[in-house]
Amino acid sequence: MTPKAYRRGYPIAMLLGIEIDDAALWQVYSQVFKHQQTLPLNGERSDPKAVYNFHETIVNALRQTLKEGVRSIIVASPSKTNYSQEFLNHLKAHNSWLLQGPNKATFSTITGSASTSPQVATLTKTPAFKQLIQETASEETENLREILEKRLNKSDNLVLFSLQEAESMIFGTQVVGKPKPEYLLLTDNYLSGSRQRNRVYRLLQIAKNRSVKTRIINAESTAGIRLTQLGGLVCLTKLDENTR
């Protein structure tokens, strides 16, 4: 993640556009959007088994993004269809882990098509989409703030507050029975105002490569205000369950 590459901004959400016979996944950054993949429906909409498999394929595609820390997902489908609601109903019935618990994702729906770049460009410029981004981001960052507060109050979960400490934890060799990095959280103000920006970009890239959940948070949100109080950057670690 170089400064040049980071001109697209930082990831803020995923956009899932569901149509009659496929679903398109888009990464939404603070400055641009980027197509991730398109998933076909193998079969007919009238076949419950085909639709079930289609929805499971979407869930599997979302897993990697969720591992990276982006947990705000906006689901779009054309007017006069119920594709978005059918997908959310599938999650409630078969993937409830996505909707509850400390690591839950935040799902919102919007009417519109999001299969092609022109469609996404039009949709993301609408006031409704911008409002939805703000609302889902607010809910997600509140979840992160709750995770942070719980970690601060636990004696067995190490919380690191400096860039140097985060680097040592994330760059270092992971040892069985010792804390491992789980989250790297920082505010957008910390990122833009850092005098060691290239160093921060490198940390973000290596953290992502090592499956550490990374989130850049609006400094004006409740989670961002709390992070700012703690210096603007926090690395949360955890022990493996089988070592406790």
Determine the average pLDDT of the residues in 73-98.
95
Determine the average pLDDT of the residues in 76-83.
96
Query: What is each CA distance from 11 to 2, 21, 34, 224, in whole angstroms?
Result: 15, 27, 10, 15
Tell which wins on pLDDT, 100 or 75. 75
Query: What is each CA distance from 167 to 2, 40, 206, in whole angstroms?
Result: 17, 41, 9
Q: If pLDDT is split at 50, 70 and 90, which confidence band does 5 have?
A: very low
Q: Is the pLDDT of residue 8 over 70?
A: no
- Specify the pLDDT at position 1: 45
Cβ neighbours for 86, distance < 8 A, ≥ 6 positions apart: 51, 55
Q: What is the pLDDT of residues 169-201, one digit of tens each?
A: 999 887 887 889 999 999 999 998 988 989 999
- Specify the pLDDT at position 230: 93
- Specify the pLDDT at position 241: 57
Delimiting residues of CATH 3.30.1330.30 domain(s) in the chain:
154-243
Q: Is the pLDDT of residue 165 over 70?
A: yes
Alpha helices in the chain (DSSP H): 48-68, 83-94, 117-124, 127-152, 163-171, 188-193, 197-209, 222-229
Find residue 236's DSSP bridge partners: 159, 183
- Specify the pLDDT at position 244: 44
Structure tokens that stand for 64 in this block: 């990697």
- Specify the pLDDT at position 97: 87
Q: What is the b/e burial string over 1-36, where b = at least 16 CB atoms within 10 angstroms of the residue's CB?
A: beeeebeeebbbbbbbbbbeeebbbbbbbeeebeeb
DSSP code for 126: S
Determine the average pLDDT of the residues in 99-103.
75
Q: What top-level class would CATH report for the domain 5-142?
A: alpha beta
Q: If pLDDT is split at 50, 70 and 90, which confidence band does 106 have?
A: confident
| pTM: predicted TM-score of the whole model, two decimal places | 0.72
Tell which wins on pLDDT, 127 or 101. 127
Mean pLDDT of the chain, nearest integer: 88
Delimiting residues of CATH 3.30.420.60 domain(s) in the chain:
5-142
- Specify the pLDDT at position 243: 45
Q: What top-level class would CATH report for the domain 154-243?
A: alpha beta
